[in-house]
Structure 1
């Protein structure tokens, strides 16, 4: 009886997870890539003027060690004290939040 209850509980949990995931994808579609780029640019402009920026319009999967999320990858370049700084970023495609930032 205990094994049966355990299996029923696991099946119910798995079904609920799949339903929640599918519903979340329908309810929270991706933010347009240019909107994400404008948001990132506005944050960088608070520190210094921007020379250039780019973003890939297609999402990619980003794995942070715990979970995998769809992200837009892009970059920003600017000049500070006569030196060029370049950054690459990955921003969550659903919320626009930067999940990875690297100076290159």
Structure 2
């Protein structure tokens, strides 16, 4: 085997490894909490103004029947017809999808 062929094989393997590592890192990464909160606030703003909002920056485990995932917990408050409404939500940390919404 010539050195050029060996070096080409090593470089090709290293490049493939970097591509696979990048794909795995993207698949395991979480959506930033700020982005999740912005998405939720934007959805509420379609129905009217909001008063306040919050989100916990650290994820926590969540189970809904047979589905388990890490979620961000947060909340939104607004005044509707002169009455304060408060909502709490749980959003999937990987996708940002709201998986639970409870009116308090």
What's the TM-score once normalised by structure 1's chain length?
0.74
1:22-54 alpha-carbon deviations (Å, 9 max, x no partner): x86762300100000000000000001010000
1:51-98 alpha-carbon deviations (Å, 9 max, x no partner): 000000000111001021000000000000100000000000011110
Unmatched tracts of structure 1, length 5 or more: 1-22
Give me the CA root mean square deviation: 1.5
- Which contiguous aligned blocks of 4+ residues in structure 1 show a shift greater than 3 angstroms? 23-26
Aligned residues: 82
Unmatched tracts of structure 2, length 5 or more: 1-22
SS at match of 2:94: coil
Q: 1: CA distance between counterparts of 2:27 and 2:61?
A: 19
Q: 2: CA distance between counterparts of 1:43 and 1:63?
A: 24
Q: 1: CA distance between counterparts of 2:53 and 2:42?
A: 11
Q: 1: CA distance between counterparts of 2:99 and 2:25?
A: 19
Within 5 Å, which residues of 2 pair with 1:1-104?
Answer: 27-104=27-104
What's the TM-score once normalised by structure 2's chain length?
0.74
Larger radius of gyration between Structure 1 and Structure 2: 2
